[in-house]
Amino acid sequence: MSVNEAPEESIYTVNFRKAWITPEYKRTNRVVRILREFATRHMKTDDIKIDQYLNRYLWQRGKRNPPRRIRVRMTKDETDTVVVSLYEEFKERKSQTGDLDLKQEETPEEKSTKKKQEGDAKEQVEPGDSLKQEGKDATAIKSDDDIKKEPVQKKVEKPKKKSPRKKKSAD
């Protein structure tokens, strides 16, 4: 590949059916090997790098239950290095579960409708404004949006402690 050329980019769907022939405890390892072999065969190079988000996606459900097939984007740069990444754009959300979530790309139609809805929301009068004019305290009444935003605390019932068993004496 010459210096002036743009990097090659291809999108493939890789089927991992052969991984189910192997023992259950080796499946995700086999999926990674199948993906590397597929990239080598189609991109004509041995220098394969798997994107960290793709790797996390493959290992997300553990060693025994990898995905059956996956859609990937393979990009070959000037140094004949192929980077294999997910076709969908995934982002890592810092949450308690640590799951990966899809980054939704909005279409132009969705963006325009979203802007219109935001504009309409700004034009609406807030419930606290009318109360301020009447001289009442606006903080005493909460709007529906404020109620939805507040986290709901669930009551957790603690298990009752069992009393120690009384031993029967053999008298």
Whether the model clears a pTM of 0.75, i.e. scores above it, the answer is no
Q: What is the C-alpha separation between 128 and 130, in angstroms, rounded? A: 6
Supply 90's token pair: 């995934």
Please, what CATH class does the domain formed by 8-88 belong to?
alpha beta
The confidence score (pLDDT) of residue 133 equals 52
Q: Is the pLDDT of residue 83 over 90?
A: yes
Region 60-89: mean pLDDT is: 93
143: helix, coil or strand?
coil
Supply 156's token pair: 């957790």
Q: Is the pLDDT of residue 92 over 80?
A: no
For residue range 136-154, list pLDDT tens digits in order: 555 555 555 555 566 666 6
